[in-house]
């Protein structure tokens, strides 16, 4: 367990994954979520007062079945990261950490929001295969409900979810998903609680995981896990473009086109758009 200089605690990636394997849900806060809380906006999520207020409240939540994830890099142990990642977090922490710490609960046990960043940002990649194996155990033999942006396409073209029992998908707006929040939540709750809900939807995922967990689901805010897995499979040195998949990490905002296999298409059960829900 890592300790802040102000006695806040952050469990590392391995400890966080272990808790999730035991059935815990997780709401994750990265630099994007904290940017929104501190009054900014991200490329895909405009400012929204309700979103800000909910992010602030959940950050201090003490529910027994929900992990609150914040960057392990907040403990300022930069040696484990690549030079690029280390420089990013040094600069980010210098500008924002003092303000962020004031938003946190001093005696709360936090968990790592960097669980889906297990490859590109770390220097030592010797344990990546073991880590990936532990990730895959989370959804092994489980019914998966994936809630993702229109062009996120988690698991397309790889074996990340090979051992899942079944996969269904709800596709949501890639931009300003929070504007459709009630419809997204209600659609998710049409499914039985034996589904493990995996969410990749920016800051909206943080809120959605929380609300679903409070309604009896195991819900995981797991954005970026598929891209990181793709880079791991390719032994990529940097965050490169992945064919057919949206990638905000390299400012890849163009319309993503390409061949989509039939099994992926069959897994889509609903599409949520600004104009309403289309049943597939």
Is a pLDDT exceeding 50 seen at residue 3? no
Tokens of 199: 């969410």
Place of tokens 């200089």: 5
Q: What is the mean pLDDT of residues 253-264?
A: 66
Give me the residues paired with residue 196 across strands.
144, 218
Question: How do beta strands 276-279 and 268-273 pair?
Answer: antiparallel
Closest Cα partner for 151 from 183, 132, 187, 177?
177
Is a pLDDT exceeding 90 seen at residue 8? no
Alpha-carbon gap, residue 256 to 194, rounded angstroms: 32
Place of tokens 């929900």: 66
State the DSSP string of 222-237. -TTHHHHHHHHHTT-S
Cα→Cα distances 72→25, 112, 211, 235, 269, Å: 18, 5, 24, 24, 35
* Burial call 25-57: b when 16+ CB within 10 Å, e when fewer: bbbbbbbbbbbbbeeeebebbeebeebbebbee
- Radius of gyration of the CA atoms of the chain, in A: 18
The more confident residue out of 277 and 162 is 162
What pLDDT score does 204 carry? 96
pLDDT tens, residue by residue, 179-214: 999 999 999 999 999 999 999 999 999 999 999 999
Closest Cα partner for 136 from 167, 104, 164?
164
Percent of the chain with pLDDT over 70: 91
What pLDDT score does 2 carry? 45
Phi and psi torsions of 180, nearest 5°: -110, 20
- What confidence tier does 277 reach under pLDDT thresholds 50, 70, 90? low
The more confident residue out of 253 and 168 is 168
Alpha-carbon gap, residue 186 to 156, rounded angstroms: 26
pTM over 0.85, yes/no: yes
Supply the range of the domain harboring residue 169: 2-279
The more confident residue out of 165 and 278 is 165
Q: What is the mean pLDDT of residues 4-13?
A: 73
pLDDT tens, residue by residue, 103-117: 998 889 999 999 999
Give the range among 8-17, 43-52, 90-99, 223-232 with minimum mean pLDDT. Answer: 43-52
Tokens of 13: 């990636």
Q: In a 10 Å sphere around its CB, with 0-12 CB exposed, 13-18 middle and 19+ buried, how is residue 254 labelled? A: exposed
Is a pLDDT exceeding 60 seen at residue 261? yes
218 three-state secondary structure? strand
Alpha helices of 102-257 — where are they, by DSSP H?
128-139, 181-188, 203-213, 225-233
Q: What is the mean pLDDT of residues 164-189?
A: 95
**What is the domain count for the chain?**
1
DSSP tag of 48: -
Is a pLDDT exceeding 60 seen at residue 38? yes
Alpha-carbon gap, residue 247 to 89, rounded angstroms: 20
Alpha-carbon gap, residue 51 to 196, rounded angstroms: 24
Closest Cα partner for 225 from 20, 11, 1?
20
The more confident residue out of 255 and 41 is 41
pLDDT tens, residue by residue, 117-153: 999 999 999 999 999 999 999 999 999 999 999 889 9
pLDDT tens, residue by residue, 67-105: 999 999 998 889 999 999 999 999 999 999 999 999 998
Please state, as a whole number, how many other Cβ atoms lie within 10 Å of the Cβ of residue 244.
15
What pLDDT score does 44 carry? 76
């Amino acid at each position: 367990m890592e300790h802040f200089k102000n006695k806040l605690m952050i469990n590392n990636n391995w400890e966080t994954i272990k808790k999730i394997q035991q059935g815990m849900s997780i709401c994750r806060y990265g630099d994007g979520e904290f940017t929104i809380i501190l009054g900014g906006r991200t490329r895909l999520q405009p400012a929204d007062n309700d979103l800000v207020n909910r992010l602030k409240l959940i950050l201090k939540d003490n529910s027994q079945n929900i992990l609150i994830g914040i960057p392990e890099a907040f403990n300022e142990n930069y040696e484990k990261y690549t030079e690029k990642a280390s420089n990013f977090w040094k600069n980010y922490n210098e500008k924002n950490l003092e303000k962020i710490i004031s938003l946190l609960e001093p005696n709360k046990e936090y968990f790592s929001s960097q669980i889906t960043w297990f490859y590109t940002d770390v220097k030592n990649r010797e344990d990546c295969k073991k880590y990936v194996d532990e990730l895959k155990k989370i959804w092994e033999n489980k019914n998966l409900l994936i809630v993702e942006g229109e062009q996120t396409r988690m698991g397309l073209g790889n074996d990340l979810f090979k051992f899942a029992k079944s996969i269904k998908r709800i596709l949501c707006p890639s931009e300003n998903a929070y504007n459709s929040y009630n419809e997204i939540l209600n659609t998710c709750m049409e499914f039985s609680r034996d589904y493990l809900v995996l969410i990749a939807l920016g800051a909206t995922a943080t809120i959605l995981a929380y609300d679903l967990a409070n309604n009896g689901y195991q819900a995981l805010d797991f954005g970026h896990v598929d891209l990181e897995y793709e880079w791991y499979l390719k032994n990529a040195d940097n965050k490169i473009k992945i064919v057919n998949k949206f990638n905000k990490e390299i400012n890849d905002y163009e319309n993503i086109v390409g061949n989509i296999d039939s099994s992926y298409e069959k897994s889509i059960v609903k599409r949520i758009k600004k104009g309403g829900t289309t049943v597939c």
